[in-house]
Amino acid sequence: MISHLRPPQSLSPSRNRSPSLLLDLFLSFSGIMLRSPLRATGGIFELRKTVERTKTLMMKQSAWRQMTEPGFWAGVLVILCTLSVGADVHQALKTQSMLSKVLQRHKRDWKWDKLYVHEEMPLKHPPEKIGKLENTYFTPSARYNLSGEGANNIFTVNDNGDILVHAKLDREEKSIYRLTASLFNIDSKKQLDHDNTIEIVVLDINDNSPVFPPDISGSISESSRAGSVVMSVKATDADDPTTQNGMVVYKLLNGTDLFINYNGEIRTLTSSLDREKQSQYLIAIQAKDMPGVNEGGNSATTIVTVNINDINDNIATFKSGEYRFNVKEDSEPGYQIGVLAVEDKDEIQNKDPTFTIHKFGEVFDIKQSNTKDGALSLKVPLDYETLKAYVFSVNVDEHTVSKSPDNQGPNLLTRAQVFINVIDVDEPPVFSQTLYNFSIYEGPFKNPVIGAVSAKDPDATAYKIRYSIEDPNCPVVVDPVQGHLSLKKQLDREEESSYTFQVTAHEDVPNGLKSYAKVNLTVLDINDNAPELTNGNEVYVCKSDKPGTLYISIILHFFTLTVGAYNKDENSGRFHFTLAKSSKFSLTDNRDNTASIKLKQGGFSTEHSVEHVLEIEIADGGTPEQKRKLNDLQLMCACARRNDKWSIVWPTPRPE
């Protein structure tokens, strides 16, 4: 039953001849072993039609459902009946008439509309007959003609209606040919019947192997639970995918202790994959068609790469229990002392050590370095003379490590001792202050000493220190041994109120180290300036009633004249005004560093410029008191025209 559907054995001796999956399944189910090979005859094609129909129906459903549904069994029964239920199946298939009864169509004039031919059949001489056109109107004077795909070229029809094939066909190139058959009279050329469309179906043989894409790879994190999907592999088979020829199944050829295949999906079989042990696996995978047949079928093998991705599953530990460093005492804060090397088998992005310092945390700092080691640095300056060595312990932890790390146990080296040795360096002298503030009074001095600076060599050697002032313009000199500062000259606050200069201290040895301190000298004020009138010695009293005229007529006693004074010194008190030589005027001290001068009695009218001379004494309240006598003070009533402007209105006369 099976083998007679195939092309004759001699045509393709090397090929697998398995029929469709479902028929196979049926046969293995029913236990019928049919082994009789039949030669292809016209009857094959009739049978093939029925089988084909049943198969198409069956293919649409899953194998198991088909077997459980009544339709399946019905279809199978039809085939079986067709083949004869009797013991001699061989014989039954030869009985053409029996097949005809079932399959012939009587309604139509044309007998066939579908024919079958196997692909890849070697050409034969004479050409192979694949079917026969039959029409009820056929007579000896009638002829068949073919047109359409491959007509008269691949396929021809002879005078008997036999369809012959003249080429080797490839289903994977073209799986169906559509032709038109016509019947006409040789003499009249008249058509004897309607054209009929026939299809020639190229039957698949398993002439293609599954093909894998190149370079298949997948990855999975180490320690993933068993059953995790690693990757899917897929091979393609050019043969008919609705038959076993084109169906592909997969099989792992090795690595089966770690991985398992479900229809090309590779999953882990264990949770013990460990990147630190093996980071990559190469697995041979076979893809094979003809899933129902153990032997035979076409197969291909490829090697896929499975990469094991790292996770943080190793605890960071110290590489050593002790780390020793020498640090110069003059190292700046932030100085990188060194590295506490850490051991962690994970990939660097998964290393995450943290460090704890147990003593001297205010002096030293330890942080994760770029290489994920412990970077030890200095936080504050060291001083050899104060402390020559530090010993402390440091812990390393890894909080992000997985719950069951590869390395565990009490013997992990997570604590280390650090020994810091402070190295003495020759340091420059150190002043007792970096800035000194001194002050001294201006003017003549009895004792020129303004203060003293002092510096020391901090080193154990403790060299003597010599002081100097390098600026030659500095008004101060320094005693090279004692550090006393004294004035070179008298100072004047009104000229320069403060000085800033540097004092140098250097070790009193050849090439001794130097350092500097700043001195700020403030010059203090003494009252060494007499008061002066704020606007010079001329005081004008002016009143114009008519701009442009030179004549002024003023009764002065209506007006008060105010004079003011100032003094260059800083701390002089309030000014006191007194009128020394009194004539017609009186003076009132306004107690705000001004005084008003008034005409005592009468008045005077000035037709002409008149001068009155006043003598005023102004004293400041400073120590010592400074006085000024203004004996050339002129009171002018000569409101002269200056620059076409009536001017000088100070002090402003105001009505009483």
Ligand X SMILES: *[C@@H]1O[C@H](CO)[C@@H](O)[C@H](O)[C@H]1NC(C)=O
Rule CB under 6 A: which residues touch ligand X? 145, 147, 151-152, 184, 189, 254-255, 281-284, 303, 433, 435, 437, 498, 500, 520, 522
Q: Write out the two tokens for 311.
A: 């996770």
Q: Which does 28 bind (CB under 5 to 8 A by kind): ligand X, Ca ion, none?
A: none
Give whichever of 344 and 525 is closer to Ca ion, judged by the CB atom: 344
Report the nearest approach of Ca ion to the CB of residue 344 (Å): 5
User: Which lies closer to ligand X via its Cβ, residue 74 or residue 435?
Assistant: 435
Site for Ca ion in 336-365 (CB under 5 A): 344, 346
* Coil/strand/helix, residue 460: coil
Among Ca ion, ligand X, none, what does residue 310 contact (CB within 5–8 Å per kind)?
Ca ion
- Residue 154 CB, nearest distance to ligand X (Å)? 12
Stretch that binds Ca ion, among 63-71, 312-320, 385-393, 497-505 (CB under 5 A): 312-320
The answer to whether 26 and 68 are in contact (CB under 8 A) is no
Select 148 or 653, whichever has its Cβ closest to ligand X.
148
Give the strand order in the sheet containing 498-507: 435-441, 514-524, 498-507, 465-468
Q: Is 136 helix (H, G, I), strand (E, B) or coil?
A: coil
313 binds, among Ca ion, ligand X, none (CB under 5 to 8 A by kind): Ca ion
In this structure, what token pair is assigned to residue 63?
């194998």
φ and ψ at residue 402, rounded to 5 degrees: -65, 165
Nearer to Ca ion, 340 or 595 (CB): 340
Give the DSSP per-residue string, 354-380. Answer: EEEE-S-TTTEEEEE-TTSSEEEEESS
Give the total of residues touching Ca ion (CB under 5 A).
7
**Contact by Cβ (8 Å): 499, 474:** yes
Would you say 477 and 488 are in contact if contact means Cβ atoms under 8 Å apart? Answer: yes
Which lies closer to Ca ion via its Cβ, residue 350 or residue 593?
A: 350
Least distance (Å) between residue 460 CB and Ca ion: 47
Q: Which residue's CB is nearer to ligand X, number 26 or number 436? A: 436
The listed partner (Ca ion, ligand X, none) that binds 255, CB under 5 to 8 Å by sort, is ligand X
Residue with Cβ nearer Ca ion (275 or 288): 275
Complex with Ca ion: residue 209 or 221, whichever CB lies closer: 221
Pick the stretch among 3-11, 38-46, 239-247, 314-322 that binds Ca ion (CB under 5 A): 314-322
Q: Which does 356 bind (CB under 5 to 8 A by kind): Ca ion, ligand X, none?
A: none
DSSP helix/strand/coil, 185: strand
Tell me how far CA of residue 32 lies from CA of 28, 39, 288, 512, in angstroms.
Answer: 7, 21, 26, 115
Amino acid at 223: S
Residues 403, 404, 405, 408, CA torsion sign:
positive
Q: How far is CA 205 from CA 211, 249, 326, in A?
A: 17, 18, 83
Q: For residues 461-490, which are near Ca ion according to CB under 5 A?
A: none
Closest to Ca ion by CB, 175 or 228 = 228
Q: Which of residues 76-95 bind Ca ion (CB under 5 A)?
A: none
SS (H, E, C) 390-452: EEEEEEEECCCCCCCCCCCCCCCCCEEEEEEEEECCCCCCEECCCEEEEEEECECCCCCEEEE
Residue 52 or 149 having the CB closest to ligand X = 149
Looking at residue 535, its amino acid is N
Per-residue tokens: 140: 């000896």
Cα Dmax for the chain: 176
User: DSSP assignment, residue 57?
Assistant: H
Cα 217 from Cα 306, distance rounded (Å): 6
Q: Least distance in Å: CB of 115 to ligand X?
A: 17
Token pair in block for residue 535? 């606007």
Q: Is residue 237 involved in binding Ca ion (CB under 5 A)?
A: no
- In whole angstroms, the minimum distance from the beta carbon of 179 to ligand X comes to 9
Partner that binds at residue 500, options Ca ion, ligand X, none, CB closer than 5 to 8 Å by kind: ligand X
Distance CA 474, CA 485 (A): 11
Q: Which does 346 bind (CB under 5 to 8 A by kind): Ca ion, ligand X, none?
A: Ca ion
**Shortest Å, Cβ 3 to ligand X:** 35
Supply the minimum distance, in Å, between the C-beta of residue 433 and ligand X. 6
Residue that is written with structure tokens 């897929």 in the block: 234
Residue among 313, 329, 343, 442 that touches Ca ion (CB under 5 A) = 313
Q: In the beta sheet, which residues pair with residue 324?
A: 419
Given ligand X, Ca ion, none, residue 554, with its beta carbon under 5 to 8 Å by kind, binds: none
- Min separation Cβ 195 and ligand X, Å: 10
Under rule CB under 5 A, residue 312 binds Ca ion: yes
- Nearest approach, Cβ of 278 to Ca ion (angstroms)? 12
Specify the 3-state DSSP secondary structure of 100. Answer: helix
Smallest distance, Å, CB 157 to ligand X?
9
Among 12, 224, 314, 572, binds Ca ion (CB under 5 A): 314
Binding of residue 373 to Ca ion (CB under 5 A): no
581 Cβ neighbours under 8 A, 6+ residues apart: 613, 614, 615, 631
Question: Which is closer to ligand X, CB of 266 or CB of 554?
Answer: 266
Rg of the chain over Cα atoms, rounded to whole angstroms, equals 62
**Closest CB to Ca ion among residues 314, 529:** 314
Which residues, numbered 269-288, are part of the site for Ca ion (CB under 5 A)? 275
Decide if residue 310 touches Ca ion (CB under 5 A): yes
Which spans of this chain sit near Ca ion (rule: CB under 5 A)? 275, 310, 312-314, 344, 346
